[in-house]
């Protein structure tokens, strides 16, 4: 990854974080008073042993206790307030970047669907969890550790040296924990992701797995990935637990050692009993943030990885610049010398393709598998950007339109139709939280899906999901067509629209195409089956990613079929 790209992503993250700069300062101020009030316990012990027990004054004891109760109450209140502030800082940071990261994940998934998934969103959540965790607040407390250690040294230099030596050992433990745990934690995360991906694929294709008797083999493959994930997780947990147990045990030993050394100094008349107890308590306060950092290091490590991954994602997928909003275009499509490189590929699957479609025309795009039909569909809908040439809608190139506007102007029925969790009406309305019910029904009627939908038990309110098997492929395809028509598009792109349709569905599709043509819309149909191009005025023949023929339907079909017949006869003669 280019360092400049990553730096750009980090700059964007820092900018989002800096929007809460005032709140960070508020937390820092509260932390000052919280840590000062942590001296309440040591000072109380110092006064009890050196003043109250010596004077045997109950009034002094009561007064000191009342003051301590008040100070501890203030300390608890300030610690509570700074925790609430940081929870809101984390929420603001995530809310500020939610849309940006979501958009970047989707845009990158178009290019590299196998490498992105929803990791960007989980990375953002990991950073947010770190910002609201106790370990983040300990960052504000750690600068007080040297001050507390200095306070111990003021009681006696030997106590100060013991405290500094012990604190150095714990800091070394943090450094070793970071250095040694990074690789096991990364391997555990990768192995867990692989096992989840395997189980997700098996669940999605559960019918096929059962039908083909793949259950045992699928389980064995998932278990192999799962066992590896468990092994890596146990290794990472063991390593982290080792450092956590060591720091906890060593801190308790250090406090006892502080008491032991303090007792020796008391016997030598170099220290008072109150200073001995106060030094032990102060040491616990000084080392508490370090112990928190060691104990919650997996949270820190995950946040660091998340921050780095977010910087890479945001740097690689920069924020889209605002565009001037264009009026609704006419159904005039021009494809000019179009060349398209599929994401991650170095060879173009579509090369120097040109044609034009006027309002009210339907174009059938035919050709053998791999000829570039689906690539053309993705380029016209703006999903895949051109590597060369232009696609123009009413004279403007597609990149001049806002993506959301372009999605309304160009309806798209992909080759593989996917329904989302929700009702049928939600799916037709493109998951809108406030769907236009009249437009939902109108789109379903245009797609000849209305009667099929109202025949279902709950009609348009029938709940479906991506893994739901209650609907047939043809029903799903007609709902997908209604979804493409919901926004009343001026261009409609249909990729193999009748692959799952019966004769009634195919006729309904042709009826919908006739209606759209009469309304002035333009239609492009990528097809293998002749029934899909009955209503087409023009035919574009693709072969090997290039244009073989483009023109009126009957003329092109006659030429293509004549050539095919000649090839068939020549092949037959060669066989003889």
Give the start-to-end residue ranges of the domains of the chain. Answer: 1-133+304-318, 143-295, 333-575
Query: Does 518 score more than 70 pLDDT?
Result: yes
Of 46-60, 62-76, 265-279, 422-436, which gets the smallest average pLDDT? 46-60
What is the band of 158 on the pLDDT scale with cuts at 50, 70, 90?
A: very high
Q: Specify the pLDDT at position 440.
A: 92
Q: Specify the pLDDT at position 569.
A: 43
Residue with the two structure tokens 């109760």 = 69
Ordered strands of the 522-526 beta sheet? 410-413, 491-495, 522-526, 362-366, 538-543, 546-552
Q: Alpha-carbon distance 337 to 453, whole Å? A: 42
Cα 112 → chain centroid: 14
Q: Specify the pLDDT at position 466.
A: 67
Average pLDDT estimate for 33-45: 86
Do 333-575 and 1-133+304-318 have the same topology in CATH?
Answer: no
Q: Specify the pLDDT at position 339.
A: 92
What is the band of 561 on the pLDDT scale with cuts at 50, 70, 90?
A: low
Stronger pLDDT, 42 or 111, i.e. the higher one: 42
Q: Alpha-carbon distance 82 to 79, whole Å? A: 5
Q: Judge if pTM exceeds 0.85.
A: no
What is the band of 566 on the pLDDT scale with cuts at 50, 70, 90?
A: very low
Q: Alpha-carbon distance 440 to 483, whole Å? A: 8
Q: Specify the pLDDT at position 531.
A: 64
Question: CATH number of the domain at 1-133+304-318, out of 1.10.1200.10, 3.40.50.1820, 1.10.760.10, 1.20.1560.10?
Answer: 1.20.1560.10
Q: Specify the pLDDT at position 357.
A: 92
Q: Is 431 helix (H, G, I), strand (E, B) or coil?
A: coil
**333-575 belongs to which CATH class?**
alpha beta
Q: Which of 489, 563, 499, 491 is nearest to 527 (CA)?
A: 499
Query: Does 524 score more than 90 pLDDT?
Result: yes
**In this prediction, what percent of the chain has a pLDDT beyond 90?**
18
Mean pLDDT of the chain: 83
User: Angle between the 58-111 and 3-18 helix axes, to the nearest 10 degrees?
Assistant: 140
Q: Specify the pLDDT at position 206.
A: 66
Query: Does 334 score more than 90 pLDDT?
Result: yes
Query: Does 460 score more than 60 pLDDT?
Result: yes
**143-295 belongs to which CATH class?**
mainly alpha
267 Cβ neighbours under 8 A, 6+ residues apart: none
What is the band of 208 on the pLDDT scale with cuts at 50, 70, 90?
A: low
Average pLDDT estimate for 375-385: 89
Of 21-25, 131-135, 345-349, 399-403, which gets the smallest average pLDDT? 345-349
Q: Alpha-carbon distance 276 to 268, whole Å? A: 12
Q: Specify the pLDDT at position 275.
A: 84
Average pLDDT estimate for 492-521: 82
Query: Does 142 score more than 80 pLDDT?
Result: yes
Query: Does 119 score more than 80 pLDDT?
Result: no
Q: Specify the pLDDT at position 529.
A: 66
Q: Alpha-carbon distance 491 to 520, whole Å? A: 9
Half-sphere exposure of 329 (CA within 13 A, CB side): 28
Q: How many Cβ atoms are within 10 Å of 116's Cβ, its own excluded? A: 18
pLDDT digits (tens, 9 = 90+) for 232-277: 777 777 777 787 788 778 878 888 888 889 888 888 888 888 888 8
Which of 48-52, 282-286, 438-442, 571-575 has the highest mean predicted lDDT (pLDDT)?
438-442
């Amino acid at each position: 990854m280019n360092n400049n790209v990553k730096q750009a992503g980090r700059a964007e993250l820092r900018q989002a974080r800096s929007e809460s700069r005032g709140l960070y300062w508020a937390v820092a101020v509260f932390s000052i008073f919280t840590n000062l009030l942590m001296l309440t316990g040591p000072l109380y012990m110092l006064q009890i042993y050196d003043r109250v027990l010596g004077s045997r004054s109950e009034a002094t004891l009561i007064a000191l206790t009342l003051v301590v109760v008040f100070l501890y109450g203030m300390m608890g209140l300030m610690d509570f307030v700074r925790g609430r502030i940081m929870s809101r800082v984390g929420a603001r940071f995530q809310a500020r970047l939610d849309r940006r990261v979501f958009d970047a994940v989707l845009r990158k998934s178009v290019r590299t669907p196998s490498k992105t998934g929803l990791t960007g969103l989980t990375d953002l959540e990991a950073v947010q969890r770190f910002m609201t965790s106790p370990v983040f607040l300990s960052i504000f407390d750690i600068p007080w550790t040297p001050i507390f250690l200095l306070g111990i040294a003021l009681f006696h230099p030997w106590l100060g040296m013991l405290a500094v030596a012990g604190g150095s050992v714990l800091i070394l433990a943090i450094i070793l924990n970071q250095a040694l745990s990074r690789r096991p934690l990364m391997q555990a995360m990768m192995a867990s992701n692989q096992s989840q991906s395997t189980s997700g694929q098996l669940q999605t294709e559960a019918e096929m797995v059962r039908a083909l008797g793949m259950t045992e083999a699928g389980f064995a493959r998932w278990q192999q990935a799962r066992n590896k994930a468990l092994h890596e997780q146990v290794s990472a947990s063991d390593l982290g637990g080792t450092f956590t147990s060591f720091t906890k045990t060593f801190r308790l030993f250090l406090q006892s050692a502080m008491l032991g050394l303090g007792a020796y100094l008391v016997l030598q008349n170099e220290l008072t009993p109150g200073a001995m107890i106060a030094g032990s308590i102060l040491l616990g306060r000084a080392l508490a943030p370090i112990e928190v950092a060691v104990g919650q290091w997996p949270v820190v490590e995950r946040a660091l990885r998340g921050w780095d991954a977010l910087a890479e994602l945001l740097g690689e997928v920069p924020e889209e610049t605002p565009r001037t909003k264009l009026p609704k275009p006419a159904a005039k499509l021009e494809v000019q010398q179009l060349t398209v490189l599929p994401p991650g590929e170095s060879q173009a699957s579509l090369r120097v393709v040109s044609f034009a479609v006027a309002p009210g025309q339907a174009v059938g795009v035919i050709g053998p598998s791999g000829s570039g039909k689906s690539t053309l569909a993705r380029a016209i809908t703006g999903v895949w950007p051109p590597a060369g040439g232009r696609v123009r809608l009413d004279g403007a190139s597609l990149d001049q339109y806002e993506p959301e506007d372009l999605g309304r102007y160009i309806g798209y029925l992909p080759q593989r139709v996917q329904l989302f969790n929700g009702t049928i009406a939600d799916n037709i309305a493109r998951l809108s939280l406030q769907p236009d019910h009249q437009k939902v029904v109108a789109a379903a009627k245009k797609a000849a899906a209305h009667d099929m939908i109202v025949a279902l038990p709950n009609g348009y309110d029938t709940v479906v999901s991506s893994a739901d098997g209650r609907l047939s492929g043809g029903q799903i395809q007609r709902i997908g067509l209604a979804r493409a028509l919901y926004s009343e598009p001026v261009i409609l792109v249909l990729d193999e629209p009748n692959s799952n349709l019966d004769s009634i569905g195919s006729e309904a599709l042709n009826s919908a195409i006739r209606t759209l043509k009469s309304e002035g819309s333009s239609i492009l149909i990528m097809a293998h089956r002749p029934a899909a191009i009955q209503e087409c005025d023009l035919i574009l023949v693709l072969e090997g990613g290039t244009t073989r023929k483009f023109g009126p339907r009957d003329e092109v079909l006659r030429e293509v079929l004549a050539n095919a017949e000649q090839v068939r006869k020549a092949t037959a003669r060669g066989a003889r």
